[in-house]
């Protein structure tokens, strides 16, 4: 059962990544536009509308367009994009791309594209790019009413709770003690029980944390961990916290880090304007997944039973959106 769930989730993630990879790619299509003199939104629009793209260099006579250059740039990690986001960086990246183009040209001479593995990779990349572009065209961004409905229906996922804790380390736990040797797990639990009783009896929680917590980082701030939203904590810890009301202190909660005493603070909700962009992407993603499922049901698919022996026994699992992002 667990294996089937993991496989289904992986499939959902792949479809979502393919369908919405273009959204990220599109946002980076003009990474150096701010560096171009006279660059305007109008020029970007004319390119998107189908005007001939600007050739920015030639490598052994072969043209390289600005769109190709920008698409290659968008594929490198974000931190590297920041390093190259200058006139000098643009030139340095161009030099690297020149080397890639030279290798590509040499590969064509050698017939590398005819290698079955390479041909398969090219076909897969082609499918991903076309599928991503199609998903974007099929499902435009949702309107304000759809975003508002999603927010109203999932308000709990946009709530956050201020949380503080005191951590008592034990021998073998992931967090070492601040002072002295680590306690046994039993002794750590006894110490945590004593601290919890003091906190519940009215003792200053922040003072107790500064004096007793082995989590040095939060101890300096009176045990404060900051705001936490649903799903951010391990389930075995979150189940204890969700039962507490603001101001309440928990019983000792063992974990792989140590033994915790939690105090819950105020509940807050993220306003719609703060999470609108994330909701819009989520709603668009779900709409695309639903559309893909409709198309899948109508599609004629024939599996080679020798290669896919499970195909006869197992119908395709329905795609379901992942948990709403907070």
Q: In whole angstroms, what is the distance from residue 63 CA to residue 59 CA?
A: 7
Q: pTM of the prediction?
A: 0.51
Question: Would 149 be classed as within a structural domain?
Answer: no
Question: Would 322 be classed as within a structural domain?
Answer: no
pLDDT average, residue stretch 45-51: 39
Structure-token pair, residue 119: 């041909």
Question: Would 318 be classed as within a structural domain?
Answer: no
Q: What is the CATH number of the domain that holds 226?
A: 3.10.50.40
215 has pLDDT over 80: yes
How many DSSP H helices and E strands does the chain contain? Answer: 12, 6
* Residue of 6 and 169 predicted with greater confidence: 169
* Residue of 237 and 35 predicted with greater confidence: 237
* Three-state secondary structure of 200-228: HCCCCHHHHHHHHCCCHHHHCCCCEEEEE
319 has pLDDT over 60: no
Portion of the chain with pLDDT greater than 70, in percent = 80
Question: Would 294 be classed as within a structural domain?
Answer: no
Both 19 and 109 in a single domain?
Answer: yes
List Cβ neighbours of 123 (8 Å cut-off, separation of 6 or more): none
70 has pLDDT over 80: yes
Both 10 and 102 in a single domain?
Answer: yes
Both 183 and 70 in a single domain?
Answer: no
CB 253, CB 168: distance < 8 Å: no
Q: In whole angstroms, what is the distance from residue 317 CA to residue 5 CA?
A: 10
Both 167 and 93 in a single domain?
Answer: no
Both 117 and 11 in a single domain?
Answer: yes
Among 219, 247, 269, residue at a domain's last position: 269
pLDDT tens-digit series, residues 160-205: 889 999 999 999 999 999 988 889 999 999 999 999 999 999 999 9
Structural domain including 82 reads 2-138
Q: In whole angstroms, what is the distance from residue 266 CA to residue 248 CA?
A: 11
List Cβ neighbours of 129 (8 Å cut-off, separation of 6 or more): 22
57 has pLDDT over 70: yes
Question: Would 118 be classed as within a structural domain?
Answer: yes
Both 232 and 164 in a single domain?
Answer: yes
Question: Would 301 be classed as within a structural domain?
Answer: no
Among 138, 173, 193, residue at a domain's last position: 138
Residues 287-320: b if buried by 16+ CB within 10 A, e if exposed:
bbbeebeeeeeeeeeeeeeeeeeeeeeeeeeebe
C-alpha of 245 from chain center: 30
DSSP 60: T
260 has pLDDT over 90: yes
Both 91 and 206 in a single domain?
Answer: no
* Residue of 326 and 241 predicted with greater confidence: 241
pLDDT of residue 169: 95
Both 173 and 239 in a single domain?
Answer: yes
């Amino acid at each position: 059962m667990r294996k089937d769930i993991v496989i289904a989730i992986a499939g959902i993630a792949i479809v979502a990544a393919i369908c919405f990879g273009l959204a990220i790619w599109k946002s980076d299509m003009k990474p150096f536009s701010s560096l171009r003199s006279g660059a305007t939104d109008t020029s970007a629009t004319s390119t998107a509308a189908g005007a001939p793209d600007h050739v920015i260099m030639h490598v052994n006579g072969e043209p390289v367009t600005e769109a190709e250059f920008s698409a290659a740039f968008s594929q490198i990690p974000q931190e590297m994009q920041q390093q190259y986001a200058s006139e000098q960086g643009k030139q340095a990246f161009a030099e690297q791309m020149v080397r890639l183009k030279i290798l590509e040209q040499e590969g064509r001479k050698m017939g590398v594209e005819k290698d079955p593995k390479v041909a398969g990779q090219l076909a897969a990349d082609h499918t991903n790019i076309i599928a991503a572009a199609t998903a974007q065209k099929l499902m435009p961004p949702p309107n304000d009413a759809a975003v508002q409905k999603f927010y109203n229906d999932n308000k709990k996922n946009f709530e956050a709770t201020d949380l503080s804790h005191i951590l008592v380390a034990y021998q073998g736990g992931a967090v070492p003690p601040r002072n002295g040797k680590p306690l046994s797990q039993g002794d750590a639990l006894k110490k945590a029980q004593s601290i919890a009783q003091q906190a519940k009896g009215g003792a200053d929680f922040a003072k107790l944390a500064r004096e007793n917590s082995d989590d040095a980082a939060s101890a300096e701030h009176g045990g404060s961990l900051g705001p936490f939203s649903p799903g951010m904590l391990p389930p075995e810890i979150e189940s204890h916290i969700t039962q507490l009301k603001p101001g309440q202190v928990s019983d000792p909660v063992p974990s792989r880090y140590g033994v915790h005493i939690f105090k819950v603070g105020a509940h807050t909700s993220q306003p719609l304007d703060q999470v609108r962009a994330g909701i819009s992407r989520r709603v668009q993603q779900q709409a695309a997944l639903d559309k893909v499922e409709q198309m899948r049901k109508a599609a004629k698919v024939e599996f080679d039973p020798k290669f896919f022996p499970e195909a006869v026994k197992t119908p395709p699992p329905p795609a379901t959106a992942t948990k709403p992002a907070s």
